[in-house]
Chain A
Amino acid sequence: MTSSTKSLFAVLALCLALPSYANDLIAEVRARLAPRPVTQGEFQQTRELARIKKPLVSNGRFLVVRDAGVIWENLAPIVQTMRITKNEILQTGGGAALMRLSSDKEPVVGIISSILFGALAGDFEMLAQSFTCDGKVEGDKWRLVFKPRDATLARLIEALSLAGGRDIEQVEIRSAAGDAARIVFKAQTHADEVSAEIRKRFE
Chain B
Amino acid sequence: MPTKFPLKSGNGLNNPTPLPGLARLHRLLAGVWLVLLLGAACFLIADWRNGAGRVETDLLALLPRDERRPMLETALKALAAQGERQLALLVSARDDALTRQVAAETRAALAGLGLVEQGAAAAFPSDFYFPYRQGLLSAADREWLATATPEAAASRALKLAHALFTPANAPWHSDPYGFFGDWLKSLGEATPVRPFNGELMVEHDGRSYAALTYVLPQSAFSSDFQQKLIAALDGARARAHALDPQARFLAAGVALHAAAAARQAEREMRLIGLGSLLGTFFLIGFVFQSVRALKLIAISLVSGAVVALFATFLLFERVHAVTLVFGVSLIGVAVDYAILVFAQHLGSQEPPWERYRRLLPTLGMALLTPALAYLALALTPFPGLEQMAVFAVCGIFGAWASVVCFYPYLLPATLPPPGNAGLMTRLLARWPRWRNSGRHWRAAFCLAAVAAGGLAQLRTDDDIRGLFSGDAALMAEHRQASEILRLPSPAQMFLLDADTPETLLQNEETLLEHLRPLVAAKQIGGYEAVSRWLPSEARQRQARALRERLRTSDERLGEELELPGGWSAEASPGPLLTPEVWLASPVSASFRGLWLGAVADDEGMPRYASVALLQGLAGREAGESLARLARGLPGVEWVDQTREVSSLMARYRELLTRTLLLACLAVPFLLYPFFGRRVWRIVAPVSIAGALTLAVMGYLGIPLQLLNILAFLLALGMGVDYAIFLQARQAYAHTLLATTLAASLTLLSFGLLAFSGTPALHALGLTITLGVALSWLLTPVFLRDMKTQA
CB within 8 Å of B: which residues of A?
45, 47, 49-54, 56, 58, 72, 74, 77-78, 80, 82, 89, 91, 93, 98-99, 101, 103-112, 116, 129-130, 149-153, 155-156, 173, 175-179, 181, 183
Contact = CB atoms under 8 A, between A and B. Distances in A.
Contacts of B165: 112, 116, 173, 175, 181
B162 A179 contact: no
Contacts of A150: 196-198
Given A105-B189, A152-B120, A80 B172 contact: no
B164 A179 contact: no
26 contacts: A47-B161, A49-B171, A51-B171, A52-B172, A52-B173, A56-B561, A58-B162, A74-B163, A78-B159, A80-B162, A82-B163, A82-B164, A91-B163, A93-B159, A98-B159, A101-B167, A101-B185, A111-B196, A116-B164, A116-B165, A152-B124, A152-B196, A152-B197, A152-B198, A175-B171, A176-B169
Contacts of A181: 164-165
Closest 4 CB pairs of A and B: A177-B171, A150-B197, A50-B171, A78-B162
Given A54-B561, A106-B185, A129-B96, A155 B169 contact: yes
A107 B159 contact: no
B217 interface: no
A13 to B, nearest CB: 23
Given A80-B163, A116-B165, A177-B168, A54 B196 contact: no
A89 B159 CA distance: 15
B529 interface: no
A109 B192 CA distance: 12
A156 B158 contact: no
A152 B195 contact: yes
B339 to A, nearest CB: 69
B167 A108 contact: yes
B318 interface: no
A52 B563 contact: yes
A107 B194 contact: yes
Contacts of A54: 561-562
Contacts of B201: 107
Contacts of B124: 152, 155
Contacts of A78: 158-159, 162
Contacts of A151: 198
B170 interface: yes
Contacts of B126: 155
Interface string B79-107: 00000000000000000100000000000
Contacts of B170: 177
Contacts of B192: 107
B460 to A, nearest CB: 44
A127 B174 CA distance: 29
B202 interface: yes
Nearest to B201: A107
B188 interface: yes
B190 to A, nearest CB: 11
A179 B166 contact: yes
B203 interface: yes
Contacts of B173: 49-52
Contacts of B162: 45, 47, 56, 58, 74, 77-78, 80
Nearest to B126: A155
Nearest to B127: A155
Interface string B726-760: 00000000000000000000000000000000000
B156 interface: yes
Interface in B317-343: none
A186 B156 CA distance: 28
A107 B189 contact: no
Interface in B178-204: 178, 185, 188-189, 192, 194-198, 201-203
Contacts of A156: 167, 169
B158 A49 contact: no
Given A89-B167, A179-B166, A179-B172, A49 B161 contact: yes
Given A108-B167, A156-B167, 13 more contacts: A45-B162, A49-B161, A51-B173, A52-B563, A72-B164, A89-B167, A98-B159, A111-B196, A150-B198, A155-B169, A177-B170, A179-B171, A179-B172
A178 B174 CA distance: 11
Contact of B197 (A56, A89, A130, A155): A130
Contacts of A58: 162
Nearest to B192: A107
Nearest to B156: A98
A171 B203 CA distance: 30
B638 to A, nearest CB: 27
A126 B194 CA distance: 19
A11 B368 CA distance: 82
Contacts of A129: 96
Nearest to B193: A107
A80 B169 CA distance: 22
A62 B429 CA distance: 104
A177 B178 CA distance: 14
Contacts of B185: 101, 106
Contacts of A98: 156, 159
Contacts of B158: 78
B586 to A, nearest CB: 16
Nearest to B560: A54
Contact of A52 (B166, B188, B561): B561
Contacts of A93: 155, 159
Contacts of B163: 74, 80, 82, 91
A71 B610 CA distance: 46
A155 B178 CA distance: 17
Contacts of B562: 53-54
A181 B172 CA distance: 12
Contacts of A51: 171, 173
Nearest to B200: A152
A173 B563 CA distance: 23
Nearest to B196: A152
A173 to B, nearest CB: 6
Given A58-B162, A150-B197, A103 B203 contact: yes
Nearest to B563: A52
Nearest to A72: B164
Contacts of A155: 124, 126, 169
B171 A149 contact: no
A184 B174 CA distance: 27
Contacts of A176: 169
B159 to A, nearest CB: 5
Nearest to A77: B162
Contact of B203 (A101, A110, A179, A183): A110
B197 A178 contact: no
A25 B162 CA distance: 33
B196 to A, nearest CB: 6
Contacts of B563: 52
A54 B120 CA distance: 38
A45 B161 CA distance: 12
A51 B170 CA distance: 13
A101 B194 CA distance: 15
A52 B164 CA distance: 17
Contact of A149 (B188, B197, B202): B197
B648 to A, nearest CB: 40
A40 B412 CA distance: 107
Contacts of A52: 172-173, 561, 563
